[in-house]
Structure formats: C-alpha cells, structure tokens
Amino acid sequence: MIFTNFRRITRTGFVNFWRNGFLSFAAIVVLTLSLLALGSIIFAGAFGKALISDVKDKVDINVYFALTAPESDILSVQRDLNRLPEVASTTYLSREQVLNNFKLKWQDNTLIMQGLEEIGNNPFPATINVKAKDPGQYGSIAEYLQDKNPGMSDGTPIIEKVNYEQNKLVIDRLSKIIPAIESAGMIIAIIMIIVAMIVVFNTIRLIVYTSKDEISVMKLVGASNIYVRGPLIVSGVMYGIVSGAVTLVIMAAFSYWSDAVILRFAGISVAADFELVVNVLSKYFMQNFGQIFIIIMGTGIVLGGISSYIAARRYLRV
Amino acid sequence: MIYYDKVTKIYPDKSVGLDGVSFGVEPKEFVTIVGHSGAGKTTLMKMLIAEDWPTEGAVYLESTNIHKLNKRQMSKVRRRIGTVFQDYRLLQNKTVYENIAFAMEATGRTDSEIAADVPHVLELVNLGHKIWNFPKELSGGERQRVAIARAIVTQPDIVIADEPTGNLDPTNTYEIIRILQKINELGATVLLTTHNKGVVDTIGGRVITMEKGKVVRDDKAGKYIL
C-alpha cells in the first residue's frame, strides 16, 4: 500500500507539473536564474583563483650577482634562500645560461645580435629568480638579502642588484587588493543566494496558493496530509531537476564561449603569457563536472522541494 | 449515530447561524432538512465534517465529539462521510474520472477497485460519456452529478447532500433521489437539504424544518410546509 501511495503521489505530481503549464514555466525560470547566480559564483571563483595564481607567478624577485662572483658562493646564497619559510622556489641561471636564453629569444633580431657580438664577452650576470609563497612576503625576502649580502674575497658584496623595488608597487597593490576582492566577493555571493532563495520560495508559494481551494477540498474529502502535500513536493522537485539541467547546459555553453571571447579580447601573445587563464572555465567545468552537477542539481532539488513543502504546510490547516 | 447537542453558531459580526439546535439521527435513517435560504442548513452540514465549529454545544458521531478529534482522526472520519457540497467543489485540474478516483484513493482503495467502480458510478449518474472532461468543460448540472458520484463511489456510511438537485432538470432530479434512496436501502445514513417541494414530497421520510437557525418542526413522515 505504501508503494501504491508513493506511485500515486508521484504520478499526480508529474501530471500537475504539466497541467499547471505556465505556472510551472514561471517557477522553472525563476529557479534557473537562481541556479545561474550560483553557477556564476562558482565560475567567478574559479576564474579569480586562476587569475590570482597566474599573477602571483609573474611576480618575483631577481637577484643579480657581481660578474666575478664564484659559483659556489652563489649556490650557497641559493641554499640559504631555499631555507627561508617565505620562499616557494628559487631558480639559478648561470651567466652562460642567461646568454643562451638571450640569444634564443632575439635570434631573429639582427641588430641586437650584432650589438652582442660587438660587446664581445658575456655581459650578463648570474641570476637567481626567487618566487615567494605570498606576494606580501617579498618585502621580508628583499630585506634578508640586503642584510645578509656576503662579501667576496676582494670585499665587494656578492649581490649586485635586487630588482624587487620595481615590482614592489605591483606586489604591494596586489597584497591589498586580493584579500579585499575575496571578501567582497563572498559577501555579494551570500546576498545573491539569499535573494534567490526568497524569490524561489515566493514563486512556489504563489503556485501553492492558487491551489488553496483544491487543497481544502481534498482535505474535506478525507485525504491525508501526505496525499495533499506529496504531489506538491514532487512538482517542486521536478522544477528543481529541470532548472538544474537547463542551468548546467547554459554553464557548459558559457564556459566554451568564454574561451573564445577571452582569446579574442586579450590577443594571442597575452593569452600565451597568461596561459592558465584562457582555458580556465572550460577546463574547470570538465574537470569538476561531477561536483558542479551535484551542487547545482542538489541546490535546485532542495530549493524546489523545500519551498513546496513549507508553502503547502501553510495551506493545510483545514 | 449522529447527535447535534444544543449546537449554536454565532459569527464575529454577532449574526446567528445556528441557535441551540438539537436532534439525533439513527443509523440508516433518511433525513431531509428544509428551510429558506439562510436558515442554517449548510452550516449544519459543515459541522458534521468539521469544516466549521460550534460556538456552543457539540456534534457527536457515535458518541465521539467531532471537534475534539485531531487532524488525523478527523481525516479518517471524513472518509466515512460522502459529501455533496452545494458548490460542487470539484478539483479543477483533474478530469471527471480523476476527481472521482481521488475520493477512492483517499480512502485507500486499490487500482482495480477504482477501475471497476468509477465507470460504474458515472453510468449511474448518466455521465459515462464525459469521463475525460475537465470540470470547466461541463454544465452546472453535469458538475453536480460528478459531485454526487464522488460522494457515493466509496459507499460511505453517511452521505450528506447539500442541495444536490438544485441545478438538475426534473428527470435527473428524480434519478438522483432514487439513487440516494437506493444507497439508503443499502445501509447508508442520508442527510439531505433542499428547498424543492417536489423532492420532499417524493421522499416522504423524516423532515426537519429550520428557520433562522432553529429547528421549528421535526416530522417523522413530513411534508413540505414552509
């Protein structure tokens, strides 16, 4: 009997979903918009993270050593740097490597290649490139290098130049902006979701309200609460499923479209530079599809079902 | 079986719906209640299914006070009572078949019982050809017959019919009365309200006359006297 009841309730909910026609359509539109708000928050989060990590990557400190600095001393400075907790990684480029990289980069530019030949010997210093775990920590790393500048055998300091100062402006700004953006984003997200939930709830409540008389008749004829509420909840869940599906399709389309737009907007060279950012949405969507599916569908079903349940309770007091 | 014990209903604007109404109905009785519009006939019916509640007094069904029951118990009681509402109260989103089937589903009947009984009862009220129509596609008289069919399909112990023949032509009217009498013969207690003189005289059973919320006559073999 329980199974029969369940079957009847589901079938009635399904039939009502179709027969309510325009009302169902309105509920689905509202629910889809809410889920799209949730979806765009997910996308914004993914995009923001990619952008921030890309920029963090770009920001670094280059330490230029005196031309006569012995390699063993340079490597010992690198070891000391690696021991610092703020340092994420260091890359050592010997003078020869810097020269080769330069030649490779500019091999098509005859003017520059000629100039290099005229100089004769290798003008480039050995370099250590330092990346910190957090842009805000470059300051302390630079200070450390300033203090601990070991001397060479002839007394001159081994480190010729630290080009932190040029990047400092960018680094400083970033350290301030990024946390601010993250908090603002969170607050906006929460407000949007609350507003969306209220709109969905009221839309479904309106739909149930239009069935108020029918609900009272059903009760007067002796139907139990489950028989009256059940189909409404089933319809609510169906709104959630349909809206969830539509939202996922829109999100998929958007993620692929956004790749093309970003590429065109930023230009090829910038895109190559910021490689992480270009494919980020479609890659993110594909890789995390399972999670996104559960979040969007789950939210849709829960919103639709619970709104129906609460709305139905109000009108069941016959 | 049913007992109205000094039932009084006074509305918030101080108007009187019922005034100290007391009477009893034995099982398997057929009671007709007559009166002018506003006499309190519908209010009386509403009390029995707890759609309204008395300001004073009580309504008893087999020595249980109806208004002291909780919601679940009241649902169970309502399943034993087939109600024909004066304004039909059909479910607009359901077809004729589904409206009647709903009453059976609410009382827990199986699908095979429903498939057998619903067409049968629709034939009884001459609506076999309108099974798949929606209420808005029916005439007033047809809607009334659907309401009657819904009330009797579950073969309830008690049938209360509030003006069940108001919109019917004479032929249909007498057919409906015959059906109600048949149900009564099969063991149901029937309470009928009407202000159709012909109906009252045809039935010839117990007649309770109401006026301004009071019972003014209670005749065992009553005639229409207003």
Report ipTM for this prediction.
0.81
Q: How many CB pairs under 8 A join A and B?
A: 55
* A70 within a domain of the structure (yes/no): yes
Looking at chain A, how many residues does it have? 318
pLDDT band at A277 (very low <50, low <70, confident <90, very high): low
* A153 within a domain of the structure (yes/no): yes
- The pLDDT of residue A259 is 74
- The pLDDT of residue B121 is 92
How many domains does chain A divide into? 2
Examine the fold and report which residue of A129, A147, A166 is the final residue of a domain before the chain moves on.
Answer: A166
Same-domain status, A153 and A74: yes
Same-domain status, A308 and A182: yes
Determine whether the interchain pair B105/A222 forms a contact, defined as Cβ–Cβ distance below 8 Å. no
- Provide the shortest C-alpha distance from residue B92 to chain A (in Å): 8
Mean pLDDT of A158-178: 69
- Provide the shortest C-alpha distance from residue B135 to chain A (in Å): 13
Q: Is pLDDT of A246 > 70?
A: yes
- The pLDDT of residue B119 is 93
Same-domain status, A182 and A269: yes
Cβ distance A300 to A247 under 8 Å? yes
pLDDT band at A156 (very low <50, low <70, confident <90, very high): low
Same-domain status, A44 and A121: no
Measured between alpha carbons, how far is B105 from B108 in angstroms, rounded to an integer?
Answer: 5
Same-domain status, A81 and A151: yes
- The pLDDT of residue A151 is 67
- The pLDDT of residue A20 is 83
* A318 within a domain of the structure (yes/no): no
Q: Is pLDDT of A134 > 80?
A: no
Q: Is pLDDT of A244 > 90?
A: yes
Query: B171 forms bridges with which residues in the sheet?
Result: none
Q: Which residues of A touch B148 (CB under 8 A)?
A: none
- The pLDDT of residue A264 is 67
Same-domain status, A212 and A277: yes
Same-domain status, A208 and A158: no
**pLDDT-wise least confident of A126-130, A200-204, B131-135:** A200-204
Tell me whether A2 touches chain B (CB under 8 Å): no
| Helix and strand counts by DSSP (H, E) for chain A | 13, 4
Determine whether the interchain pair B93/A1 forms a contact, defined as Cβ–Cβ distance below 8 Å. no
Same-domain status, A51 and A183: yes
pTM: 0.71
Tell me whether B87 touches chain A (CB under 8 Å): no
| Structural domain containing residue A90 | 60-166
Q: Is pLDDT of A57 > 70?
A: no
Mean pLDDT of A262-283: 60
Examine the fold and report which residue of A124, A140, A166 is the final residue of a domain before the chain moves on.
Answer: A166
pLDDT band at A263 (very low <50, low <70, confident <90, very high): low
In chain B, pLDDT over 70 holds for what percent of residues?
98
Which of the listed ranges A177-186, B3-12, B35-44 does the model predict with the highest average pLDDT? B3-12
Of A214, A222, A225, the CB nearest to B107: A222
Q: Give residue-wise pLDDT tens across range B143-172.
A: 999 999 999 999 999 999 998 888 888 888
Determine whether the interchain pair B75/A221 forms a contact, defined as Cβ–Cβ distance below 8 Å. no
Rounded (5°) CA angle B224-B83-B49 = 100
Which residue spans within A59-172 are E strands per DSSP? 61-65, 87-93, 127-132, 159-162
Measured between alpha carbons, how far is A136 from A146 in angstroms, rounded to an integer?
Answer: 17
Same-domain status, A32 and A7: yes
Q: How far apart are the first and last CA of chain A?
A: 25
Q: Which of B71, B75, B157 to mutate to test the interface with A (most CBs of A within 10 A)?
A: B75
Same-domain status, A116 and A46: no
Q: Is pLDDT of A278 > 60?
A: no
Q: Is pLDDT of A309 > 70?
A: yes
Q: Which of A221, A225, A228, A315 to mutate to test the interface with B (most CBs of B within 10 A)?
A: A221
Measured between alpha carbons, how far is A90 from A127 in angstroms, rounded to an integer?
Answer: 10
Examine the fold and report which residue of A166, A188, A223 is the final residue of a domain before the chain moves on.
Answer: A166
- The pLDDT of residue A30 is 86
- Provide the shortest C-alpha distance from residue A6 to chain B (in Å): 12
Cβ distance A150 to A180 under 8 Å? no
- Provide the shortest C-alpha distance from residue B81 to chain A (in Å): 8
**pLDDT-wise least confident of A70-84, B2-16, B32-46:** A70-84
- The pLDDT of residue A147 is 76
* A199 within a domain of the structure (yes/no): yes
**pLDDT-wise least confident of A172-181, B3-12, B16-25, B65-74:** A172-181
Determine whether the interchain pair A224/B89 forms a contact, defined as Cβ–Cβ distance below 8 Å. no
Q: What is the mean pLDDT of chain A?
A: 80
- The pLDDT of residue A116 is 81
Those of residues 218-257 in A touching chain B at CB distance below 8 A are: 218-225, 227
Same-domain status, A39 and A133: no
